[in-house]
Amino acid sequence: MLYKYNFEELALLLERGEVRSVDIADSFLKRIQNYDKKINSFITVDEEKLYLQAEESDARRKKGGELSRYDGIPIAVKDNICTKGIKTTCASKILENFIPPYNAAVYEKLKGSGFILLGKTNMDEFAMGSTTEASFFGPSKNPYNTEKVPGGSSGGSAAAVSANLAPAAIGSDTGGSIRQPAAFCGVTGIKPTYGRVSRYGLVAFASSLDQIGTFGNCVDDAALLLSVISGYDKRDSTSIDVEVDFHPEKLRDDLNEIVIGVPDEYFKGVSEDIRNNIEGKLKELEVNGAKIEKISLKYIDYAVPVYYLIATAEASSNLARYDGIRYGYRSDAASTLDELYSKTRSEGFGKEVKRRIMLGTFSLSSGYYDAYYLKALKGRTLIIEDFKKAFSKVDVIITPTTTTTAYNLGEMINDPLQMYMSDILTISANLAGIPGISIPAGLDREGLPIGLQIMGSHFREKKIFGLAAIIEKICEPIHPEI
Ligand code: GLN
């Protein structure tokens, strides 16, 4: 039953010598062996390396001396984060056998705090998608109902935490890829402020939007894990040196001091069950002393087109490096250099990735740049200004995370426009670089999880976690049957 404990409980058991790291690893490995055939949340689990790390941790503990409280707890990591000596595939054929020669900054930090790697999780290829159906390794399934998508692109991380196949996980969020799967799978997921966590060693999708964040089964675990991976890193030029002030013990906030902004625009087109649920939570917060204020974020309608122009433009540039020469898949059907490039890329990339590269290349091409990319940058500025104005009046903003709960596998995959539109409530936070969390707020009539999103101003993660911890207490705890 070790898989049911949160970080503090596991740390205590380890500290008292009641369990060893090997026992915890064993317990999660058994869960993975029993259930991951159904959920498909992991791409790589290296049993041997897992036990080796656990034994090393147990030896460190036995030796005594200074030790992190969390030494020996296993964590799942999204497969676009480089792990030295362990495959990092990005769920793509082009990186199917890629073994990084270095560690991402976040993985170094995890190791530095004694956490051990449980496995690498499934995702949409290069983090492009909302369902994991764009994975070369097949989709992950939602633990609440395996006919449904777990969300994406960090769907493997969310599903693994939801199904108790991992105590917590790391993901990345370019337009909602942590918060949307967290909402669909009934777990907590945070995308921190842009610059809070180093992107060194994260395989780039859209560099001005990408940010690494965490998943947990409770707010405290997500906060703790984020505090471990946060911090300045000179190898990422967008990394910012700010205090990490949100360790779980510092999180208890007072509702009487908080002003919550609620933008009408974020409730348009939202399913009735979700709207009722979130409005109910807001009423309850008000009764308990929070001040609720109506605000307007009127540029939300620009968010989807602006995001899909900027993200694809950056992706077309970032993905130029997969050329079959330096690393990754290489086509053996080519006879000239040009053919090698084009065959490698057409055989190695999946459909969605190709679509995005073509869109991005088109919008950046001469003659179109001003009409598309430059226009999108202007739209991005309007969205940033919108939030600035809002945060001069309110501390945080509450909205639903998604417009619907998890939908059927196969339902959206052939309608990319509809899938892009479904990101509408999460992508503005990436465009503005602000932090956002999704916490489970209950179930809809179909028994599927509903996510509540809290956004805050830059580096106000503490406010977000504080409020999230309060809301967590007023929500019915939910868990899948698995
Ligand atoms: N669903 C969005 C997209 O497909 C977001 C992806 C992400 O955050 N990585 O681009």
Q: What are the φ/ψ torsions at residue 169 (nearest 5 degrees)?
A: -150, 160
> What separation in Å is there between the alpha carbon of 68 and the centre of ligand 1?
34
Whether the Cβ atoms of residue 134 and residue 125 lie closer than 8 Å to each other: yes
* Annotation marks residue 335 as catalytic: no
DSSP-derived secondary structure for 13-31: HHHTTSS-HHHHHHHHHHH
Q: Above 80 in pLDDT, residue 252?
A: no
- How many whole angstroms separate alpha carbon 38 and alpha carbon 426? 28
pLDDT confidence of residue 476: 84
Average pLDDT over residues 60-86: 96
What's the average model confidence in pLDDT over 460-466?
96
29 in helix, strand or coil? Answer: helix
Residue 20 has pLDDT above 80, yes or no: yes
What average pLDDT does this structure show over 123-146? 98
**Structure confidence at residue 248 (pLDDT):** 84
Q: If you average pLDDT over every residue of the chain, what do you get?
A: 96
Q: Tell me, what's the pLDDT at 91?
A: 98
pLDDT for residue 448: 98
* Angstrom distance (rounded) from CA 82 to CA 107: 8
Taking 90 as the threshold, does the pLDDT of residue 254 lie above it? Answer: no
Plot region of 337 (φ>0 → left; ψ -120 to 50 → alpha; else → beta)? alpha
User: How many domains does the chain fold into?
Assistant: 1
For residue 251, the model assigns a pLDDT of: 74
pLDDT tens digits along 209-236: 999 999 999 999 999 999 999 999 999 9
What per-residue confidence (pLDDT) applies to 54? 98
Ligand 1 neighbour 153 (Cβ under 6 A): yes
Residue nearest to atom 4 of ligand 1 (CA): 129
Backbone angles phi, psi at 172, to 5 degrees: -135, 155
H-run or E-run covering 314: helix 300-318
Cβ of 348 closer than 6 Å to ligand 1, yes or no, is no
Look at residue 317 in the predicted model and tell me its pLDDT: 97
* Partners of residue 230 on adjacent β-strands: 197
Tokens 């060693």 map to which residue?
Answer: 201
Nearest alpha carbon to residue 139 among 407, 343, 322: 407
Identity at 374, one-letter amino acid code: L
What's the CA gap between 377 and 136, in Å, rounded? 32
**Average pLDDT of 306-328?**
96
* Cβ–Cβ < 8 Å for 118, 107: no
CATH number, residue 56 = 3.90.1300.10
**Residue 404 pLDDT greater than 90, yes or no:** yes
Q: What is the pLDDT of residue 481?
A: 87
Token look-up 């999180």 returns 251
Asked if the model's pLDDT at residue 361 lies above 80, the reply is: yes
The whole-number pLDDT of residue 249 equals 77
Say how far apart CA 252 and CA 225 lie, in whole Å. 17
Q: Give the range of the structural domain holding residue 34, as residue numbers without chain letter.
A: 1-482
78: annotated active-site residue: yes
Is the per-residue pLDDT at 263 higher than 90? Answer: yes
- Spatial CB neighbours of 25, under 8 Å, sequence gap ≥ 6: 50, 51, 53, 54, 74, 116, 118
Is the CB of 220 inside a 6 Å radius of any atom of ligand 1?
A: no
Q: How far apart (Å, rounded) are the C-alpha atoms in residues 133 and 298?
A: 32
Give the per-residue pLDDT at 482: 80
Under DSSP, is residue 335 helix (H, G, I), strand (E, B) or coil?
coil
The single residue of 57, 113, 153, 239 carrying the catalytic annotation is 153
